[in-house]
Each structure stands twice: as structure tokens, then as C-alpha cells.
Chains A and B, each alone.
Chain A
Amino acid sequence: MKNWIELVFPGTSINVSFARAVVAHFAAQLDITLDELEDIKVAVSEAVSNCVVHGYREKEGNVVIRASYEESRLEIIVEDFGHGIPDIEVAQETGYTTLPEERMGLGLTFMREYMDELHIYSEVEVGTKVVMVKQIPARQAG
């Protein structure tokens, strides 16, 4: 079976919890464990927080989330139209952050760790798109 949702909302911190809850509810349509749901919530929370904190730093704009699944493959796309990432390689280093006073530089590491795939597309002053994939294998009943 195939299914998808699309979500558009202003990139503000108050919407971060809403976003992870909605995606978790959607993912719960699959034969998913509570641990896997926790993983997804962390990944979505980190991705949307990045849109708010970095993408829309001193700027306003919308966040778009597209989540879909087909068979066991769950794909979550989180996109902003903000500042963008000048060097994606460097940004992915564990502990790297452009806001060292307030942040840990762990968001992208968490996304990679909690999901099976992470792809980042970004262009300076155009925006950033992260594509995250998690395999949710069908479980035996019982």
C-alpha cells in the first residue's frame, strides 16, 4: 500500500512539536514499534528545528514536510526556503555548528543515526531539503 501527507506551516519553534507528532501519527499506520516511532520523532524534531533556527535565522518563511510510505519504505522530506548551507560536508561533522554558544552540532548526526538514510540538498539563500528514509519491516503477528 501507498500513502502520503503534505504539511505546510510557518517555521517557528512552537510548530516543532506539532510537526513531529503529526509525522509520528502518520508513520503509526505502518507496523511500527514504539522505539521506531521515538527515532522518527527525534529525526523530525531535529530537521524542523534546523529550519527554524538556521534556515529562518532572522528571517521568516514556511516549512514543508512531505511524508510517504510504500511497502516498508517510509520517506520523510523536510524543506525550508531560508539561508541554505554553504558546505554540506562540513555541516555534517559531529559537533559542527554555526551557533556554538547555544547549540551542540548534533542534529544531523541524530538524523543519520535514527534513520536509515539521510540526503541533504541545499543552496545558499535558496533553501535546504533533507530527505530521510527508514525501513519499517512488516512484523509477524503475535
Chain B
Amino acid sequence: MQFNITVIGQALIATLDGDLDLHTCPQFKDALTKALDTNSNVKNLVFDVQNLTFIDSSGLGVILGRYRAVQARGGKLFFVKASPHMQRVLKLAGMHRISEFVDSTTEVLNRA
């Protein structure tokens, strides 16, 4: 799995490529935690999942955990180009209620 994390203003944008599972989670979790620690102004988490080929509850746990960290700052959770399968997994996890599904990253950035 490969990922890229960028901070633009109050948004952290994480682009995922490959499978996010038990094995690949720790590095992603560490990178997100580090980015949030060094950018205390970040409120919104934007996950570009267009090229995410797999996710299970281990991966969702990492995302939910980081969301809890920004929730206190009034932050929101966005998923860019989530497949129907991804949306179904998020729904099963009850995370659709706290998530917004969008078509592009710019859509989120333009709003702020």
C-alpha cells in the first residue's frame, strides 16, 4: 500500500493506493497521527479512496480513530470517489452518518 498525506489549510488530504488492512495499517496510522500532531489547525479529514483496492475493519479503525481526534475541533470526514463497495462497508460500520461522499478533493477545499 502506498499513501500520500498533504495539508492544505484546515484540511488533511490522504490519498490511498492499494490495500489497507491489518498489515498496512500501522504505517498509515503513524503518518496520520504525526501529520495531525504537527498541524494543530487541521479540522477536516479528506480520504481519496479512488485507488484504494481493499479495506476492512482494521483500516476503518484507523480512519475512525483519527476522526475522533479532529471531531473535538469541529472537524468533518470526507471520502473522495468511494466505490459502492466502500460505501457499503462504511455503512455497516455506522460511519456513513459522520461521513460525506464527494467526487473531488477540490469540492471540499472550495467549501472552506
Contact = CB atoms under 8 A, between A and B. Distances in A.
Interface of A: 13-14, 16-17, 20, 35, 38, 41-42, 45-46, 49, 52-53, 102-104, 106-107, 109-110, 113
Contacts, number: 51
Given A41-B54, A42-B56, A106-B60, A49 B22 contact: yes
Given A17-B21, A35-B85, A42-B89, A110 B61 contact: no
Top 10 A-B pairs ranked by shortest CB distance?
A: A13-B23, A106-B57, A49-B22, A45-B56, A13-B22, A104-B61, A38-B85, A104-B57, A16-B22, A107-B57
B19 A17 contact: yes
23 contacts: A16-B22, A17-B23, A35-B85, A38-B85, A42-B89, A45-B21, A45-B22, A45-B56, A46-B56, A46-B57, A49-B56, A49-B57, A52-B22, A53-B22, A106-B57, A106-B60, A106-B92, A106-B93, A107-B56, A107-B57, A110-B89, A110-B92, A113-B92
B60 A45 contact: no
B64 interface: yes
A13 B89 CA distance: 21
B58 interface: yes
Interface residues on B, range: 10 to 19
Nearest to A38: B85
Nearest to A53: B22
